Homo-oligomer: A and B are copies of this chain.
Amino acid sequence: MSTAIDPVEVQGLVAAEVERQLKAFRADVEKELGELRERTVDNRATLVVFSGDLDKILAGFVIATGAAAAGLETSMFFTFWGLAALRKKGAPSAPKNLMERMFAMMTPSSTESLGTSRMNFFGMGAIMLRKMMKDKQIASLEELMQIARELEVKMIACTMSMDAMGVGKEELMEGLEYGGVATYMADAASSRVTLFI
């Protein structure tokens, strides 16, 4: 049996039914979107700087500032020999045991003493490289580090390496963050660009 109904009532009926039927579809789409969301990346670049060679550290900062300039949130994780890039010039050394002293002797005491990966010849390679860059008006390491800071490149010192090599916070520059591999991985896992330098 059919009864007459109010148009408003019809509209309500229709709206409710449309909503009910859409609900399942919406749930499907949300689920798929959610799954995709977990497989996306952030606008981020993450560099491990392992090397203590001037040329490689320079390359690291050129890439990091380039990434930041291109709009990527950029972080550099300095580990092992790479820690040398973060040494404060003329900083007091943390008290060191014999092994740590030997390591310290063999690693540069500030960015200005970094050697190159090739043709080191008692620092000649680095002096030449620095002179050529100056002649060509290419930014020096110290200038690049300054630019990196201005572009808010995050610089993280690896605490495990600091511990292993007996390097204290007072020996490193200001404005650093500190962390281990979990800190690095948290950034790296959502990065567009991940490099090991």
Contact = CB atoms under 8 A, between A and B. Distances in A.
A193 B197 contact: no
So how many copies of this chain end up in the complex? 3
Interface in A9-48: 9-11, 13-15, 17-19, 21-22, 25-26, 29, 32-33, 36-43, 45, 48
How many A residues touch the partner, as a band? 35 or more
Interface string A122-139: 000000110111011010
A56 B51 CA distance: 9
Interface of A: 1-7, 9-11, 13-15, 17-19, 21-22, 25-26, 29, 32-33, 36-43, 45, 48, 50, 52, 55-56, 59, 62-63, 65-67, 69-70, 72, 79-81, 97, 99-100, 102-103, 106, 117-119, 128-129, 131-133, 135-136, 138, 160, 163-166, 180-182, 184-186, 188-197
